[in-house]
């Protein structure tokens, strides 16, 4: 091989690494955005990135494309490591064709997705593209179809994480929606099917890109984004943290770490954190902090459907998924959004062998015309279906209230929880004592000389008969009533026993879950 050929290769590779121009790079930085290679450098361990098809160029002609054939064709693909574990990645390069997807661009993504599935390793997409490359017409649209098909095939097989670092419009928004987790950056990333101009033309409404599909909108209102951050560096650092909580694929367990937090650490503070009065609110985050290793957890969908908490944490170094009622928001009731949020999280944990711990303090489902007409029945059934279908270890803990259908849905023993514990403050019943007394004893109350005194008496009688803390335990619906201070120790010991749990679902193509 001649030195001339080596020199030529080095020059070509340098051109591919450099990108289109310094001016394009400066324009990217001026928007507060990093380049694709800078983002990959933050995501992966230093020096670990191995690029695939760096020298790929498009073959399209017309509309001036034949005169512009940059290397990489606007997307950088390859693999590297995150804390030593293999991770595949593709990153749109907005400096080239605005990151728009063409035939060659799509083929590169298809290849790296196929490699990730075959290798059984997580796939991270760093999205900063303007959608389909208009000059390539239907070929570009077909490229998106191939991505969607692979997203679906990889679902529940390898973790798929979408990081939104720029605009994502039209059909391109559906790939992130098919993945397990969506990260967004405020001000610089947006997602929408039809942009502000189309919205204005069709409906007359005027709205900005961020107002229509910015990070805060999707983190708080639509629920499309699981995480939203102020800058790319923080966002990508959190992606690395999440990957550290997930297994490489559905055939492996999540990574374990050595924990310095004693498994038998008592939580006496829990006696005071949770008021005995079921009508007094408290912050369930503080309970979670007290239970998990070093008080450290990663909340999923933190700002959407706040009446339920979904989080990943570790107990004695083992990853667990936590689903918890949040009495500070809507008293912790279940509604349409919280049911959807928790159902998706339960499915994700089950797919990737993450045990589930459910902390229950739920007064029921949210009543109202909007909820009924919005389909609370089918949306609530999503959470019920997800729990019933889950085969990972499942432990539920009833802190205070567990009323009606919401008690059943929140991983009760009757729908398959492996172990159910309760604190001495628990109240498990069809409904609250006041409501129950009004129904059961309405005639006695109405006929009484002092209806209020009679109502108060009947409420106390109902509580004494059917709502005392040991009623469910006496009937085998709760495995044990425990001291709150011993909760961490009990959970860790129970999870250790269940670690080798194996359960097979009936043979079927797939279930027909509520939509």
Answer yes or no: 404 catalytic: no
What's the start-to-end Cα distance of the chain, in Å? 61
Classified as helix, coil or strand, 412 is coil
Nearest CA-CA partner of 483 in 426, 427, 425, 423:
423
Structure tokens at 283: 């912050």
Plot region of 476 (φ>0 → left; ψ -120 to 50 → alpha; else → beta): left
Residue 51 pairs in a beta bridge with 78
CA atoms within 13 A on the CB side of 121: 18
For residues 130 and 56, give the distance between their C-alpha atoms in angstroms, rounded to a whole number.
20
Structure tokens at 159: 């973790």
Nearest CA-CA partner of 365 in 409, 329, 419:
409
Nearest CA-CA partner of 270 in 286, 256, 248, 254:
286
Answer yes or no: 405 catalytic: yes
What would the 3-class secondary structure string for 54-101 be? CCCCCCCCCCCHHHCCCHHHHEEEEEEEECCEEEEEEEECCCCHHHCE
For residues 462 and 180, give the distance between their C-alpha atoms in angstroms, rounded to a whole number.
45
Identified catalytic residue from 100, 406, 417, 472: 406
For residues 483 and 489, give the distance between their C-alpha atoms in angstroms, rounded to a whole number.
11
Structure tokens at 24: 């394009």
Distances (CA, A) of 141 to 134, 203, 213: 9, 26, 22
Q: Give the number of other Cβ atoms within 10 Å of residue 192's Cβ.
A: 22
For residues 89 and 126, give the distance between their C-alpha atoms in angstroms, rounded to a whole number.
7
CA atoms within 13 A on the CB side of 141: 6
Nearest CA-CA partner of 318 in 392, 385, 369:
392
Identified catalytic residue from 405, 448, 493, 496: 405
Answer yes or no: 214 catalytic: no
Answer yes or no: 170 catalytic: yes
Identified catalytic residue from 98, 146, 156, 171: 171
Identified catalytic residue from 170, 223, 317, 435: 170
Beta-carbon contacts of 209 under 8 Å, excluding residues fewer than 6 positions away, are: 167, 190, 192, 195, 196
Angle, CA of 469, 470 and 475, to the nearest 5°: 135
Give the residue numbers marked as catalytic: 170-171, 405-406
């Amino acid at each position: 091989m001649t030195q001339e050929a080596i020199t030529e290769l080095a020059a070509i590779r340098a051109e591919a690494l450099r990108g289109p121009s310094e001016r394009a790079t400066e324009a990217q930085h001026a928007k507060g955005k990093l380049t694709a290679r800078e983002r990959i450098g933050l995501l992966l361990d230093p020096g670990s990135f191995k690029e695939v098809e760096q020298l790929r160029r498009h073959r399209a002609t017309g509309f001036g494309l034949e005169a512009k054939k940059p290397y990489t064709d606007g997307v950088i693909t390859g693999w590297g490591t995150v804390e030593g574990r293999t991770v595949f990645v593709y990153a749109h390069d907005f400096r080239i064709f605005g990151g728009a997807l063409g035939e060659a661009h799509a083929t590169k993504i298809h290849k790296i997705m196929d490699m990730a599935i075959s290798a059984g390793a997580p796939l991270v997409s760093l999205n900063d593209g303007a959608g389909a490359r208009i000059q390539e017409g239907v070929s570009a649209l077909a490229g998106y179809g191939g991505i969607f098909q692979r997203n679906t095939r990889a679902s529940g097989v390898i973790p798929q994480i979408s990081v939104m670092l720029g605009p994502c419009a039209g059909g391109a928004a559906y790939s992130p929606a098919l993945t397990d987790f969506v990260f967004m950056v405020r001000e610089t990333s947006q997602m929408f099917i039809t942009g502000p101009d189309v919205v204005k033309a069709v409906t007359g409404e005027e709205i900005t890109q961020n107002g229509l599909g910015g990070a805060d909108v999707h983190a708080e209102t639509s629920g499309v984004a699981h995480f939203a951050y102020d800058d790319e560096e923080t966002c990508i650092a959190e992606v690395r943290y999440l990957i550290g909580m997930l297994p490489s694929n559905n055939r492996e367990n999540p990574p374990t770490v050595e924990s310095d937090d004693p498994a038998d650490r008592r939580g006496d503070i829990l006696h005071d954190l949770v008021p005995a009065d079921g009508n007094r609110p408290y912050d369930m985050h503080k309970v979670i902090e007290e239970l998990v290793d070093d008080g450290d957890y990663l909340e999923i969908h933190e700002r959407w459907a706040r009446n339920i908490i979904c989080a990943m944490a570790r107990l004695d170094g083992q990853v667990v998924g936590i689903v918890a009622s949040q009495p500070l928001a809507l008293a912790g009731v279940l509604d349409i959004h919280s049911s959807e949020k928790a159902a998706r999280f339960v499915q994700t944990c089950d797919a990737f062998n993450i045990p589930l711990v459910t902390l229950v303090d739920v007064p029921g489902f949210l009543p109202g015309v909007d909820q009924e007409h919005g389909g609370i029945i089918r949306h609530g059934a999503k959470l019920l279906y997800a729990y019933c279908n889950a085969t990972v270890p499942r432990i539920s803990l009833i802190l205070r209230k567990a009323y009606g259908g919401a008690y059943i849905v929140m991983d009760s023993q009757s729908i398959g929880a492996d172990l159910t514990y309760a604190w001495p403050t628990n109240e498990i019943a069809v409904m609250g004592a006041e409501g129950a007394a009004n129904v059961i004893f309405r005639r006695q109350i109405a006929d009484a000389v002092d209806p209020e005194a009679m109502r108060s008496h009947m409420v106390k009688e109902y509580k004494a008969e059917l709502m005392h803390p040991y009623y469910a335990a006496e009937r085998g619906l709760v495995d044990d009533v425990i001291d709150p201070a011993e909760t961490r120790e009990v959970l860790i010991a129970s999870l250790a026993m269940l670690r080798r749990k194996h359960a097979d679902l009936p043979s079927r193509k797939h279930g027909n879950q509520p939509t």
